[in-house]
């Protein structure tokens, strides 16, 4: 009998079931800090925008309404330092994960082609390569590759700020990677969905520098050729349930993506496009949410280090990347004893062994519960 179905690896989070069960037995209830799903309310103005656009009997446009594309361009200029973008070169997507998974296929990649992703990375970059029949290789610099592999690179994924590590590439580092990719004719796709959540030297509201985009003039150097920026409002605006994201960059690639997605029916619903447009135009709610995360981070970080975890990177984003100098699963089990669930570093590649990822996406009450438990067990 013919076998049907893709040969993809099992979804890794299924392995967390016994640790979730153990944590749930804690008398104070589970504190699940393993997955970065927002828990705070979607801003009211965004909910109202969605509701006001609910009468949508016709098919929406794949490319996005002109008003939405204008809002995206204005947002890039205001928040990301990327001015004079053409609204033709932006497009909404059904969440950023969808684009990450399908981009290699939509770019026409296949057998023999190489997709480069960060050494510690979100698993969907590998899945995207697999769906296209390409080969995924872990590297943070193309100079790490042998000459034969480097010659076959067609797509380079950048994730800055990074998930799970919270690492940030400065403009010079991004520019150097762009130069490497252009030298072999590869596309650079930058997953930037945590860019508004910088801390320390990258905390714009506390005197730091804004996290740079791949389309930043210091990086792109006068041309968006071969460059794509991917962004999501799931984190900054609590819109994970809306699947409200977008991609922008190289004019030729964008035109091809729009055409391919028309054929495939990959369309963001019109009410979501309107909600996305309104959210992009309001910076106030983004600051409110960042302040909430900052407070949670400032309470949780010392509790984790006091418990014996060493912090690595974690310069931006919604996660604290930590190690106790032991096997990942030992740390996960010890945290579960306290009713706390964290993400196993081994889910993010071989280089994640020994690490755990602790999310800031618990409510204030749950974060405070975790802090209390870690202090008791220190």
Question: pLDDT tens digits for 108-143?
Answer: 999 999 999 999 999 999 999 999 999 999 999 999
Question: pLDDT tens digits for 19-34?
Answer: 999 999 999 999 999 9
Average pLDDT of 285-311? 98
Reported as a pLDDT band with limits 50, 70 and 90, residue 4 is low
Question: pLDDT tens digits for 68-90?
Answer: 999 999 999 999 999 999 999 99
Q: Are 236 and 290 contacting, i.e. CB atoms less than 8 angstroms apart? A: yes
What stretches of the chain adopt beta strand conformation (E)? 31-32, 90-94, 114-117, 135-138, 153-159, 187-191, 227-232, 244-249, 310-312, 319-323, 340-341, 343-344, 355-359
| Cα(196)–Cα(103) distance, integer angstroms | 24
- Residue whose tokens read 């009468």: 55
Reported as a pLDDT band with limits 50, 70 and 90, residue 14 is confident
* Dihedral sign of CA atoms 296, 302, 308, 309 in order: positive
Q: Is the peptide bond before 357 cis (omega within 30 degrees of 0)?
A: no
Position 377 scores a pLDDT of: 64
> Alpha carbon of 290 to those of 3, 293, 353: distances in Å?
48, 5, 29
Q: Which two tokens stand for residue 159?
A: 């994730």
Q: How high does pLDDT run on average in the chain?
A: 96
| Cα(170)–Cα(160) distance, integer angstroms | 9
What domains lie within the chain, and their CATH numbers?
Answer: 12-41+285-377 (3.90.1150.10), 44-282 (3.40.640.10)
Q: How many CB atoms lie within 10 A of CB 67?
A: 14
Q: Percent of the chain having pLDDT more than 70?
A: 97
Alpha-helix runs per DSSP H in 189-234: 217-220
Q: What are phi and psi of 105, to 5 degrees?
A: -65, -45
């Amino acid at each position: 009998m013919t076998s049907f179905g893709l040969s993809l690896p099992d979804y890794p989070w299924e392995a967390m079931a016994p640790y979730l069960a153990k944590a749930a037995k804690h008398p104070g209830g589970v504190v699940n800090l393993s997955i970065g799903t927002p828990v705070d309310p979607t801003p009211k103005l965004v909910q109202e925008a969605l509701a006001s656009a609910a009468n949508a009997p016709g098919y929406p446009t794949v490319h996005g309404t002109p008003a939405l594309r204008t809002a995206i361009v204005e947002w890039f200029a205001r928040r990301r330092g990327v001015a004079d973008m053409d609204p033709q070169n932006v497009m909404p997507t059904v969440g950023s994960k969808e684009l990450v998974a399908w981009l290699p296929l939509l770019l026409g990649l296949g057998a023999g082609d190489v997709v480069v992703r960060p050494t510690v990375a979100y698993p969907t970059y590998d899945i995207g390569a697999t769906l296209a029949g390409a080969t995924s290789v872990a590297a943070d610099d193309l100079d790490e590759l042998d000459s034969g592999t480097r010659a076959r690179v067609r797509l380079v994924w950048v994730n800055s700020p990074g998930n799970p590590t919270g690492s940030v590439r400065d403009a010079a580092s991004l520019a150097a990677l762009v130069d490497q990719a252009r030298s072999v004719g590869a596309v650079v796709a930058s997953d930037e969905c945590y860019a508004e959540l910088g801390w320390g030297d990258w905390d714009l509201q506390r005197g730091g520098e804004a996290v740079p985009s791949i389309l930043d003039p210091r990086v792109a150097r006068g041309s968006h050729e071969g460059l794509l920026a991917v962004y999501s409002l799931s984190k900054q605006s609590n819109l994970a349930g809306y699947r409200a994201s977008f991609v922008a960059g190289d004019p030729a690639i964008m035109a091809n993506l729009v055409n391919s997605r028309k054929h495939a029916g990959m369309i963001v619903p019109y009410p979501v496009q309107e909600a996305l447009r309104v959210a992009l135009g309001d910076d106030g709610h983004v600051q409110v949410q960042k302040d909430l995360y900052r407070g949670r981070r400032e309470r949780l970080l010392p509790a984790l280090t006091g418990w014996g975890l060493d912090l690595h990177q974690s310069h931006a984003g919604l996660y604290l990347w930590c190690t106790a100098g032991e096997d990942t699963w030992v740390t996960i089990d010890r945290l579960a004893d306290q009713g706390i669930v964290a993400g196993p570093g081994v889910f993010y590649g071989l280089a994640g062994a020994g690490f755990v990822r602790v999310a800031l996406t618990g409510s204030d009450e749950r974060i405070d519960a975790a802090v209390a438990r870690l202090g008791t067990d220190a």
